[in-house]
Each structure stands twice: as structure tokens, then as C-alpha cells.
């Protein structure tokens, strides 16, 4: 396998042509997203450059506390991003449950993959632990965001149907079961759909990165299969934990549905 081709700053700068193309299109169509696209591109560049320098230091100085700190930072930012992207007002207990589900599901799956499947020694080896955990956390973040919005939306839109079920003798869990199932299905569907096309329609990011770095395609494929299954497991643990426990927080102690309010649009 050939060595990876290093990109110079000049070569990388050419890639910003794609951003300019998008800006020209939205200006032409009168969509008025130029500022958002520019800010997103600048933020992405700055954040990734800073992360690259930080990871260089972490990789050169591996330690359990630095790797643990990176995991904590990733999970904290992921949790904050979930709060921001949910369209409904959440009670403190719901926010705590979201954080607990995201932390628990992601960490369990990441550690199983790193320690048991890949068998990295020591377990905190940042070259493996951090990128693998990042992929798992990122997908879990997206999944629980979809589940949250779907569950809140369902509880709000079908309030009358839920209350009628309660009056007819259904328990909160029975009245909520169809909505929980719909929220779970909504949350896992994007990942399952992406798995269907992998290898034929698209080559996933992790596999592409390994191949570009000189790893044999067969080795990259095995890693990609493993990480996708770990992502699927993390999604399942994160989302079902949140949904099963979280549905109870939509009801009062005497089994009445609480008020659900949307966030005010800025």
C-alpha cells in the first residue's frame, strides 16, 4: 500500500470552492443562508484544527486521565447539542435522563468494542479509543435527538387519544407504547438505512480514512463492520433507556399527562 498523500494548506484551500458554490446557489435562489454557511465553514475549520493539535498532544502523551477527559468533553458537548436541537421545553429530570442515557449507552458500547472486540492494551490508548468513541457518541447523539423530538411531538399531537386511553383504564405505559415504538423506529431508521447501502452505494468515513492512510481494504472493512454494529448497539441502549424511563416523566403521580410546550422560536 502507498503512503498517505499529505495535503498542503494551498491544496486544502482549493476545497473551499465547494463552499463558494453553495453560497452562490443560495444567493441565486434567495434562500438567505450565506451567513450561516460561512459561519459553519469557519467554525468547522477552526474546531478541527484545534482538535488536531490537541489530539497530537494526547497521542504523544497517552494516559488514562487524558483519554477519560476527552470522553467527558465529547459526551458533554453531545449532551448540550441534544438540548439545543430538541424543539420542546424539557424538565430538569428529563435533561438528566437524556444525559444519563447518552453517557451510559455510548460508554458501554465503546468500551465493549475497544476492550473486548479490538482488545486494545491499555484500554485508554487514544489512537483507538477517541476516534471510535467519537463515532459512537455522534450517532447516539443524533439518535436520541430524533427520539426526543418524535416522542414529544407524539405526546403533544395525540394528547386527546392518550387521555381517552387513560380514562378507559389504560396505564401510562400502555397508553404510551405506540408512541415509544414510533420514536424508537424513527431514531434507529437513519442508521439502519445507511447500513443497507454500505459497500455498494457508499464507502463509510472510517473505512475510507483507513484505506487512505494505507490500511489494507480487508482490514478496514472488518473495522467498519465492527464499529457499525457497536453504533447500532449504542443506539439501542441509549434510546430504549431514555424512552422506557422517559415516558413516565410525561405523567403526574396520579397518571395525568403533563403540559408539553414548544420552545419559542428565535
**pLDDT tens, N- to C-terminus, the chain (266 residues):** 556 677 888 998 999 999 999 999 999 989 989 999 999 999 999 999 998 999 899 999 999 999 999 999 999 999 999 999 999 999 999 999 999 999 999 999 999 999 999 999 999 999 899 999 999 999 999 999 999 999 999 999 988 889 888 888 888 889 999 999 999 999 999 999 988 888 777 667 767 777 667 778 888 888 889 999 999 999 999 999 999 999 989 998 888 888 888 887 54
Same domain, 51 and 126: no
Same domain, 38 and 77: no
Distances (CA, A) of 246 to 84, 144, 147, 156, 210: 18, 12, 11, 15, 39
Is residue 86 in a domain? yes
Q: Which domain holds residue 34?
A: 1-61
The total domain count for the chain is 2
Q: Are 126 and 67 in contact (CB under 8 A)?
A: yes
Measured at the CA of 162, the angle between CA 89 and CA 239, to 5 degrees, comes to: 55
Same domain, 85 and 120: yes
Same domain, 226 and 154: yes
Distances (CA, A) of 104 to 116, 136, 237: 17, 12, 8
| pTM of the predicted structure, to 2 decimals | 0.86
Amino acid at each position: 500500500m502507498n503512503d498517505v498523500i499529505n495535503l498542503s494548506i494551498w491544496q486544502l484551500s482549493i476545497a473551499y470552492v465547494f463552499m463558494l458554490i453553495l453560497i452562490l446557489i443560495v444567493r441565486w435562489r434567495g434562500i438567505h443562508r450565506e451567513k450561516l454557511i460561512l459561519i459553519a465553514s469557519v467554525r468547522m475549520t477552526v474546531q478541527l484544527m484545534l482538535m488536531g493539535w490537541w489530539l497530537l498532544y494526547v497521542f504523544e502523551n497517552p494516559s488514562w486521565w487524558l483519554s477519560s477527559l476527552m470522553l467527558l468533553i465529547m459526551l458533554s458537548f453531545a449532551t448540550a447539542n441534544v438540548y439545543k436541537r430538541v424543539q420542546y421545553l424539557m424538565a430538569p429530570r428529563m435533561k438528566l435522563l437524556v444525559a444519563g442515557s447518552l453517557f451510559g449507552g455510548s460508554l458501554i458500547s465503546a468500551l465493549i468494542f475497544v476492550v473486548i472486540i479490538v482488545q486494545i492494551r491499555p484500554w485508554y490508548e487514544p489512537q483507538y479509543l477517541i476516534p471510535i468513541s467519537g463515532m459512537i457518541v455522534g450517532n447516539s447523539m443524533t439518535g436520541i435527538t430524533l427520539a426526543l423530538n418524535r416522542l414529544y411531538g407524539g405526546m403533544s399531537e395525540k394528547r386527546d387519544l392518550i387521555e381517552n386511553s387513560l380514562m378507559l383504564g389504560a396505564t401510562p405505559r400502555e397508553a404510551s407504547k405506540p408512541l415509544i415504538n414510533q420514536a424508537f423506529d424513527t431514531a434507529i431508521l437513519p442508521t439502519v438505512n445507511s447500513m443497507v447501502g454500505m459497500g455498494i452505494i457508499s464507502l463509510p468515513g472510517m473505512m475510507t480514512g483507513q484505506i487512505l492512510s494505507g490500511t489494507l481494504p480487508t482490514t478496514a472493512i472488518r473495522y467498519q463492520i465492527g464499529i457499525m454494529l457497536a453504533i447500532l448497539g449504542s443506539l439501542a441502549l441509549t434510546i430504549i433507556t431514555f424512552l422506557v424511563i422517559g415516558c413516565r416523566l410525561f405523567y403526574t403521580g396520579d397518571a395525568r399527562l403533563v403540559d408539553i410546550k414548544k420552545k419559542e422560536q428565535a
